Amino acid sequence: AHYQAPRGEVETRLAQVWAGVLRREPIGRHDNFYDLGGDSIKAVMVVSRLKQAGYSLKVSDVLRTPVLNELAEHAQVLTRQIDQSPAMGAVELSPIQHEYFGRTSVDQHHYNQSILLSSRERLTEELLRQSLAQLLAHHDALRLRFASDAAGGWCQHYASVAETPV
């Protein structure tokens, strides 16, 4: 069989990964993984490097479908879905929060910090409220509320955006 260059993004990326793992170039679209020196250990390496490049593939796919262009059909683009909805409900205290709330000091406000901000532009109360509301909606940590529980310990929870005053 004569050499045919990889076609498309997936075949090209897969050929680059094979070239790195198998230390062979060029890699054609009809090349066979085993014929180029591939084995199960190298298949694991291919899957790992392909994942770093943004594609998902199973080791079993590499072993069962050793021809590059056929294997490329099994690869899937990795998409990372991040939940952007507001965080809600109770959250465990972090170790540093446990330490802070475990102190019996009367002066817990000692760790608060006050600053005065000024603006070169004229700010209206409404513009400031809108800006703060957007910050609260985007940064969940700004909506954390702490309360002591019945046992004398502390807990924290996310207040809803609606119940957080600005």
Query: Which DSSP category does 156 fall into?
Result: E
Write the single-letter amino acid at 108: Q
pLDDT score at 161: 79
**CATH ID of 8-77, from 3.40.1260.10, 1.10.1200.10, 3.40.50.300, 3.40.50.720:** 1.10.1200.10
- What are the domain boundaries of the chain? 8-77, 89-158
pLDDT score at 106: 62
Helices (H), 23-157: 40-52, 59-64, 68-72, 95-102, 125-138
* 17 touches 50 (CB < 8 A): yes
Q: What is the mean pLDDT of each run of 10 residues along the chain (166 residues)?
A: 91 97 96 96 96 93 97 91 80 89 73 87 90 89 89 89 77
Of 130, 132, 157, 154, the C-alpha closest to 143 is 157
